[in-house]
Amino acid sequence: RPVLLVNGPNLDLLGRREPDIYGHDTLADLEDRARRTAADLGLEVDARQSNHEGVLIDAVHDAMTDHAGVIINPGGYTHTSVALRDALAALPVPVVEVHLSNVHAREAFRSHSYVSPVATVVIAGAGLTGYDLALRFLAERIVRRA
Ligand code: DQA
């Protein structure tokens, strides 16, 4: 089963959005890199992005049955969404929360995540490398359980 890679609101603007914070790589660059990294690890990636909370929740529901693990950057919903957290808490597979920026070094409201308590792993501040690290973790976790 593939790994579900979910990017939340405003991450479609990557490369153009606050490049000092989020870098110059686009969402397409991010997803291409994740696919290549996954292939090196013997994994497949199912990549989604949405600006809509309900669409993100529906994507997470797909992972109830269709995916071996989830990598999610919930964007601003990290700090607001009980509903997204509840969807992730329902999953039988490992969840890795990824943030491009170090959310703890920014505004105080970014330090609180509704998602972190239900995530298996949390990665922040490593930029695109964070997604590579997430895939590496899942590769080891999935092989160990296989
Ligand atoms: C982000 C951090 C969030 O606080 C912010 O709302 C985002 C992106 C990150 O990847 O660093 O949209 O999740």
Q: Which residues are catalytic?
A: 22, 99
Ligand 1 centroid, distance to 77 Cα (angstroms): 9
Ligand 1 centroid, distance to 38 Cα (angstroms): 23
Largest CA distance in the chain: 41
Question: What confidence score (pLDDT) does residue 146 get?
Answer: 55
- Taking CA atoms only, the protein residue closest to ligand 1 atom 9 is 99
Residues 21-45: pLDDT tens digits?
A: 999 999 999 999 999 999 999 999 9
DSSP 123: E
CB of 50 shorter than 6 A to ligand 1: no
Question: What confidence score (pLDDT) does residue 143 get?
Answer: 72
Q: Which atom of ligand 1 is nearest to the CA of 106?
A: 4
Neighbours of 53 (CB within 10 A): 18
Domains observed in the chain: 3-145 (3.40.50.9100)
Rounded distance between C-alpha atoms, residue 39 and residue 21, angstroms: 28
Residues 61-89: pLDDT tens digits?
A: 999 999 999 999 999 999 999 999 999 99
Q: Which atom of ligand 1 is nearest to the CA of 9?
A: 12
- DSSP output for 18-81: -HHHH-S--HHHHHHHHHHHHHHTT--EEEEE-S-HHHHHHHHHHTTTS-SEEEEE-GGGGGT-
Ligand 1 centroid, distance to 100 Cα (angstroms): 7
- What is the reported pTM? 0.97
